[in-house]
Amino acid sequence: MQHDYQHLFGMLEENGMSDWSATLQQQLADYFTEVKHGDYPKWKAAIDSMPSIKPGSIALQQDAVQIGTTKDLSEQDKSLLHTQLQTLMPWRKGPFNLFGIQIDTEWRSNLKWQRLHSHIKPLQNRTVLDVGCGNGYYGLRMLGQGASYVLGVDPTLLFLMQFRAINKYLATDNMSIIPFGIQALPEYELNFDTVFSMGVIYHRRDPLAHLQQLRNCLIPGGELVLETLVIEADGAESLTPQGRYAKMNNVHEIPSCQLLLAWAEKAGFHKPRIIDVTRTSLGEQRVTDWMQYESLADFLDEHDPSKTIEGYPAPVRAILLADK
């Protein structure tokens, strides 16, 4: 498992982050020596038994990340691959198309990407840190925009395994996901050109500390891309859910756009600006054959979809950009 990360360690050392490289090498060695997740052997076996196929084409710049076509494999191999990819369900971020197998994920993440990619600083030749990266869909879109390296951070082991399944065929050395939470980021400064944090800040007990930690990861002049739930309000207000919000149990504080901008300024960012505010629709987040659990329709009041099942305002999401 360690060899999968050699290019990551090299990238960190080349970019003045040798201290973190050394720490990570030990943390990853410890993690994979004894993985403490009961489904890990099943997921690993599924990936190991996926057929060896060389994709004839790869497209990272379209809505569904596409690796190969049906022409690249036999019907027997396609059936086997389909079965093993389903072993890695639920698939939440995407969509993907692997050799003609359309993985229709819970989130149509391409819609969020469309809302932001033309507003951010061009990713060409930039090193990117993606905090809360999920299975790497956005990271792959970043590679498609010319990023030199994308490092994803996400504690959910299944998401790492989904990325490994995809990368079995993509075979890129320019992207890694480490199965750790944001607390694994060091307290000393890092040197990334762009930092993404999408769908994370409302899960943090101290949103200001989260923003300061993200700022700490950027080079001077680097860019933060932050996406979050917001409430629609004129002033600097926030919602602190009592219990769950849309059936999520660890939502601590949802800011208004004005408060979010104030947080970013207080954390030391320059020129914070909101580039998009969009209400989450049932077309963007829903149950599919690849994610068969509850989704947005189950989180809303069936009689009044402008409210969550708990009576709070239904999910609205905003994208903030800011500079260091």
Alpha-carbon dihedral sign for residues 16, 20, 25, 26: positive
DSSP secondary structure code for residue 306 in this structure: T
pLDDT of residue 1: 53
Mean pLDDT value across the chain? 97
Closest CA to 232 of 191, 260, 270: 260
Per-residue pLDDT tens digits for 36-59: 999 999 999 999 999 999 999 999
Phi-psi region of 174 (alpha: psi -120 to 50; beta: other; left: phi over 0): alpha
Say if residue 314's pLDDT is above 90. Answer: yes
Domain ranges of the chain: 1-26
Cα 317 to Cα 230: distance, rounded to the nearest angstrom: 6
Position 2 scores a pLDDT of: 55
Asked whether the whole model's pTM tops 0.75, one would answer yes
pLDDT at 268 exceeding the cut of 80: yes
Q: Do residues 211 and 269 lie in contact, with contact meaning Cβ atoms separated by under 8 Å?
A: yes
**Burial category of 69 from C-beta neighbours within 10 Å (exposed 0-12, middle 13-18, buried 19 and up):** middle
Contact 246, 315 (CB under 8 A): yes
Residue 3 clears pLDDT 70, i.e. is over it: no
Q: Identify which has the larger pLDDT, 219 or 183.
A: 219
Structure tokens at 28: 């990853």
**Token representation of residue 79:** 């059936």
Q: What is the pLDDT of residues 249-260, one digit of tens each?
A: 999 999 999 999
Residue 147 has pLDDT above 90, yes or no: yes
Q: How confident is the model over 214-242, as a mean pLDDT?
A: 97
Which residues does 4 contact at the CB level (< 8 Å), separation at least 6? 164, 176
Confidence of residue 4 (pLDDT cuts 50, 70, 90): confident
The whole-angstrom separation of Cα 185 and Cα 310 is: 34
